[in-house]
Amino acid sequence: MGARYRDYSYTAKLEHRRKVLFICFIFIFIFSVYTVITSFLIRPYRIQSDSMKPEIALNDIVLTTPIYNPFSTAKRGSLVVITPSFNDKRSFFQKTADGIISFFTFQLFKPFEMRQRQGQSASIRRIIGMPGDTIYMENFILHIKTAEAEHFLTEFELTETDYNLEISKLPLNWNAALPFSGSYPKITLKENEYFVLCDNRLISDDSRMWGPLDGKLRIYGSLLLKYWPLKKIKLYKGQ
């Protein structure tokens, strides 16, 4: 068994220890910077449902920013981050473990977050109704009369952003009084109220279920980039 110079040299041992400490310092520094950036500047999310299909699908990964004020920057048709309907049930240890694991897997895997039930994690939705709008839904399409208008127009006639919906025809004899009928009664949105919807209108986990959202309490970010899968990378800034 051969002997190594470092095993007998105090100087070599000291140098090796310095290298190890330096590598540890670099790792801790990078992870700290990553944590600060993802907490205050940009936040990655792995999509956990098909609620925004066809624009964003299950397991897509997006970047969002919490630097967002819906009262000054919200646009009809823009994609925003909605706070969870229920409290995050993860412990401090689980959140920390998710952060470390996601750091090494480039956000591809968060074991404890993936166990969360629907409604316990943030979600992406599209702003369709703005404060002052009078709205109703028919055949999964939102009809809107703005505060200044006299007539209703469809959401597609008022939004500046192009997007597609996932909808289907209702079964024979299925009427608007039944659940999942693609209808919503006429309401007028109050100040600071927004009506957000899934692009996949077959999923009603949106304002059809929650009602209008208080922009200050429930909207806390906007979508910047879809970066996974790489072949579908897309920039959303400005929408």
Residue labelled with tokens 């048709």: 77
Q: Are residues 106 and 217 in the same domain?
A: no
For residue 158 the two structure tokens come to: 């008022």
My answer on whether 126 and 65 are in the same domain is yes
Tally the domains of the chain: 3
| 28 and 78 share one domain | no
C-alpha distances (whole Å) from 57 to each of 8, 19, 36, 171, 222 are 58, 44, 28, 25, 17
The pLDDT assigned to 83 comes to 86
Structure token pair of residue 131: 């404060």
pLDDT at 220: 85
Strands 61-65 and 219-228, by their bridges, are antiparallel
Do both 191 and 77 map to the same domain? yes
What range does the domain containing 187 cover? 47-84+121-238
pLDDT at position 163: 94
pLDDT of residue 121: 66
Within a domain: 93: yes
- Side chain identity at residue 95, one-letter code: K
Query: 170 and 139 in one domain?
Result: yes
One domain for residues 185 and 97:
no
Tokens 């309907």 correspond to 85
pLDDT, averaged per 10 consecutive residues of the chain (239 residues), comes to: 57 80 86 76 86 93 83 85 69 66 63 54 90 95 95 95 86 66 92 95 90 91 90 81
DSSP H/E element including 29: helix 10-40
Q: Examine the domain organization and report whether 94 and 20 are in the same domain.
A: no
Count CB neighbours of 134 within 10 A.
16
pLDDT of residue 69: 72
Residues 6+ apart with CB under 8 A from 141: 154, 155, 156, 165, 182
